[in-house]
Amino acid sequence: MDRVTQLLSQMTLHQKIGQLVQYNANLFIRTSADITGPQAQLGLSNEDLAVSSSVLNFSCAKEVIAIQDAHLRDDPLKIPMVFMMDVIHGYRTIYPIPLGLACSFDPQLAEDCSVMAAKEASADGVQVTFTPMVDYVRDARWGRVMETAGEEPIVTSAMAKAQIKGFQGENMADPERLATCVKHYAGYGGAEAGRDYNLVELSMRELREYYLPAYKACIDAGAPLLMPSFNSLNGVPSVANSLLMKQILKDEWNFDGVVISDYNAIGELLSHGIAADAKEAAKLAFENGCDIEMCSSTYFHHIPQLLEEGAITMEQLDAAVARVLRLKEKLGLFEDPYHGADPEKAEKLFLCPEHRQVVRRAAAESAVLLKNEQVLPFPKDTKTVAVIGPFATEHGIKGFWSCQGRDEDTTTVAQGVENLLGADRVLTARGCGCLWDDTDISGIQEAVELAKKADRVILCLGEPQNYSGEGNCRTDLKLPGVQELLAQQVIAANANTVAVVFGGRPLDLSGLDAVAPAILYMWFPGTEGGNAAADLIFGLRNPCGKLTMSFPRSVGQCPIYYNHPNTGRPHWTAEYKHRGYASDYIDCATLPLYSFGHGLSYTTFEYSDLSVSSQELAENGTIQVRVQVKNTGDRAGKEVVQLYSRDPVASVVRPVQQLVDFRKISLEPGESQWVEFTVTEQMLRFWNMQDQHMTEPGEIRFMVGYADHFLLTQSINRI
């Protein structure tokens, strides 16, 4: 008899239910006040907490060890607790937000960052991380776009698989590794009006085509946990949605890992109006496969009665408990309940030089050079540099969901430039604030005078880091406050200005784009953001990031995305446009300000000799697509070679362009390289109206270049 089967035979009903609940750490480090606080609000007894076996929101390794010690002392079966946390873009040493990191188009970099984060987090007691987040997004108004990889499932899948590999390694029982939980399943990124937690309405074709592939990729990559999303999908909240949880997840994808609800999501079934009371909420969630209830208490209170009534069976309960116990077994917790938690080791790892080097490289490779009119890079012998703007000396650029990261550990842009040039060559002025209601313009004149004195200007703008992330949705995507006015006057005073912008989402930069000769988008770059900015601005590193989410010209364009379908009256068709009846706006251009895949470099690349190995592609067949890329500039650089396809005639309207694959290459000046893509027929499939995944006979076009500018095209026939 194996360990799990033996434990199940020994466990009481109360102990079994305890394996299926998760609560905040403060409930397990109780004072007398807690008895009438959160514990009482949840209706939990001390006996309930004694058998609960999953914890989140703890502070450090010492707390984990104390909670685990107390639990093992009191638990007759000595089943260890499991400790989970949102390690999203670093633990204490912070790398760029996921949307920024995805712009590196570098899965190996994502893996390296995840390995680093796993070392720090595991030493501080974390055993499971609630990442990767693979929600597909098109709407920059939604605050949680910062946690995603953007608007392309292929990029999202590649980055997520790399994160899973980095966090878990070959063996998640390794004390320097973590188990991963993919979230939020499914469709959360399609929230109506870009408002968090809002309803999502999607056709089955749209759901399968864009929103589901990355979840499936994560499961195939070995993610042992999955978290359903808060939202309702086509009228049913995800945690109770049998289509998602049973038909697709369990029956089609054969997922046999642990499903854990999001925070109070089961309790919120009452707010949705899908359950009349907590008992019905527990029934709906449990029967649809939710194993662990996070931070609500319907399972403790109602599973016994549901068993008694026959609404659920003991076999179902045992199967759920077994999944949780097997997760603990895979983590090696029965052998080492602390999973290598070591306060002294953690302190040595935090912010160590090796980890700072990793996140500095990540910050540099995630930044996207949106515009450059022969301004960058600045020469290192520049005599005076004015670093101006509300983010010039601001430490708060690490990002919203930065776990144990601290603002004070984060390098500012001014510090980064001082580290490179010396403090005597750097002048600073704030100029204005960066909040909604900042209308004070009294500091702008000082900034203008400073800009006039300096040889060059770094203008640091953006949105505060708490203006994006969970619950932080926006209907105005412009730079907050009077930052555009600051930019206009500073750039008028000194044309040798680069605008460095910090943000957790694509912003409406139309006003800035109209005046700034150069724009470098840093996202929220993490602990080494200021040093990375200096590296890029002064040419120690060559920008190589490419956008994974389109930047709108106006919030009124949202949602906007590169892989949009054609219409019967496309905006570019002269036949309709001159009459005013094209699919267009009368007050704004139709296309984004900066499209998916856009990103400049300090060097130039030439593409030539695009070829295909065959003019025909059969079902289940494979072809090779080759292109030669040459660095035609005078600097070494990295290029993201992007292969797109278009299916011009199909039984359903297809996108005007669709990314098929990408490669990131590095070339010295004058160097050429052949880049080869292996394209299978399965990679070109789409979902038709009969819910079939297929391709159809006819022309397929391949294009290389960028979504807003294709360089070469080749066609084949699907037979």
Quickly list DSSP for 450-471.
HHHHSSEEEEEEE--GGGSSTT
Q: Residue holding tokens 């807003």?
A: 708
Q: With contact defined as beta carbons under 8 Å apart, do 56 and 84 qualify?
A: yes
Query: Which of 485, 519, 537 marks a domain boundary?
Result: 537
pLDDT of residue 575: 58
Asked whether residue 598 is assigned to any structural domain, the reply reads no
Looking at the chain, the whole-number percentage of residues with pLDDT higher than 90 is: 92
HSE (CB half, 13 Å, CA atoms) of 488?
A: 9
Same domain for 508 and 642: no
The predicted-structure confidence for 23-52, as pLDDT tens digits, reads as follows 999 999 864 444 456 888 888 988 888 899
pLDDT band at 578 (very low <50, low <70, confident <90, very high): low
Query: Which of 292, 322, 345 marks a domain boundary?
Result: 345
The predicted-structure confidence for 593-622, as pLDDT tens digits, reads as follows 999 999 999 999 999 999 999 999 999 999
The predicted-structure confidence for 429-472, as pLDDT tens digits, reads as follows 999 999 999 999 999 999 999 999 999 999 999 999 999 999 99
pLDDT band at 573 (very low <50, low <70, confident <90, very high): low
Same domain for 614 and 530: no
Q: Is the per-residue pLDDT at 704 higher than 70? A: yes
Query: Using CA atoms, how far apart are residues 664 and 399, in angstroms rounded to an integer?
Result: 26
262 is annotated as an active-site residue: yes
Q: Residue holding tokens 């139709």?
A: 590
Same domain for 433 and 331: no
281: part of which helix (H) or strand (E)?
Answer: helix 278-287
Asked whether residue 206 is assigned to any structural domain, the reply reads yes
Same domain for 415 and 341: no
pLDDT of residue 707: 86
One-letter amino acid for residue 552 of the chain: P
Dihedrals phi, psi of 697, to nearest 5 degrees: -60, 145
Q: Which domain holds residue 450?
A: 377-537
Asked whether residue 368 is assigned to any structural domain, the reply reads no
Q: Are strands 258-259 and 54-56 parallel, antiparallel or unpaired?
A: unpaired
Same domain for 397 and 270: no
If you average pLDDT over every residue of the chain, what do you get? 96
Q: Is the per-residue pLDDT at 1 higher than 80? A: no
CATH number at residue 689: 2.60.40.10
Dihedrals phi, psi of 144, to nearest 5 degrees: -85, 5
Q: What is the mean pLDDT of residues 570-591?
A: 78
Asked whether residue 23 is assigned to any structural domain, the reply reads yes
Q: Is the per-residue pLDDT at 130 higher than 80? A: yes
Which of 262, 342, 508, 535 is labelled catalytic? 262
pLDDT of residue 31: 44
Q: Is the per-residue pLDDT at 322 higher than 50? A: yes
- State the virtual CA torsion across 267, 271, 274, 276 in degrees, nearest 10: 80
The predicted-structure confidence for 526-552, as pLDDT tens digits, reads as follows 999 999 999 999 999 999 999 999 999
Query: Using CA atoms, how far apart are residues 184 and 188, in angstroms rounded to an integer?
Result: 6
3-state helix, strand, coil in the chain (%, to 5): 35, 20, 45
The predicted-structure confidence for 8-18, as pLDDT tens digits, reads as follows 999 999 999 99
Distance of CA 261 to the CA centre of its chain: 19
One-letter amino acid for residue 612 of the chain: V
Asked whether residue 496 is assigned to any structural domain, the reply reads yes
Distance of CA 332 to the CA centre of its chain: 28
Same domain for 388 and 270: no
Asked whether residue 356 is assigned to any structural domain, the reply reads no
Q: With contact defined as beta carbons under 8 Å apart, do 601 and 702 qualify?
A: no
Q: With contact defined as beta carbons under 8 Å apart, do 280 and 202 qualify?
A: no
CATH number at residue 153: 3.20.20.300
In total, how many domains does the chain have? 3
Q: What is the DSSP string of 77-102?
A: T-PPPEEEE--SSBSSSB---HHHHH
C-alpha to C-alpha distances, 469 to 3, 88, 115, 148, nearest whole angstrom: 41, 11, 23, 10
Closest by alpha carbon to 282, among 312, 308, 303, 258?
Answer: 303
pLDDT of residue 36: 52
Asked whether residue 683 is assigned to any structural domain, the reply reads yes
Dmax (CA) of the chain:
81
Same domain for 150 and 90: yes
State both tokens at 320.
């759920």
Same domain for 385 and 335: no
Same domain for 340 and 384: no
Q: With contact defined as beta carbons under 8 Å apart, do 85 and 126 qualify?
A: yes
The predicted-structure confidence for 470-513, as pLDDT tens digits, reads as follows 999 999 999 999 999 999 999 999 999 999 999 999 999 999 99
pLDDT of residue 45: 87
Asked whether residue 371 is assigned to any structural domain, the reply reads no
CATH number at residue 511: 3.40.50.1700
Q: With contact defined as beta carbons under 8 Å apart, do 533 and 522 qualify?
A: yes
pLDDT of residue 711: 86
Q: What is the mean pLDDT of residues 385-403?
A: 97
Q: With contact defined as beta carbons under 8 Å apart, do 458 and 537 qualify?
A: yes
Cα–Cα–Cα angle for 282, 283, 286, rounded to 5 degrees: 80
Same domain for 403 and 297: no
Q: Is the per-residue pLDDT at 238 higher than 80? A: yes
Same domain for 238 and 381: no
Query: Which of 329, 345, 361 marks a domain boundary?
Result: 345
Q: Is the per-residue pLDDT at 572 higher than 80? A: no
Q: With contact defined as beta carbons under 8 Å apart, do 205 and 687 qualify?
A: yes
Q: Is the per-residue pLDDT at 579 higher than 80? A: no
The predicted-structure confidence for 353-373, as pLDDT tens digits, reads as follows 999 999 999 999 999 999 999
Q: What is the DSSP string of 586-605?
A: SSS-SS-SB-TT--B-SS-E
Closest by alpha carbon to 632, among 682, 667, 670, 576?
Answer: 670
Q: Which residues contact 576 (CB under 8 A, 6 or more apart)?
A: 569, 570, 582
pLDDT of residue 33: 42
Query: Using CA atoms, how far apart are residues 226 and 242, in angstroms rounded to an integer?
Result: 15
> Which residues share a beta bridge with 694?
686
Between 173 and 575, the higher pLDDT residue: 173
Query: Using CA atoms, how far apart are residues 691 and 658, in angstroms rounded to an integer?
Result: 20
Note the pTM of the prediction, 2 decimals: 0.97
Closest by alpha carbon to 132, among 89, 78, 176?
Answer: 89
> Which residues share a beta bridge with 83?
55
Same domain for 203 and 264: yes
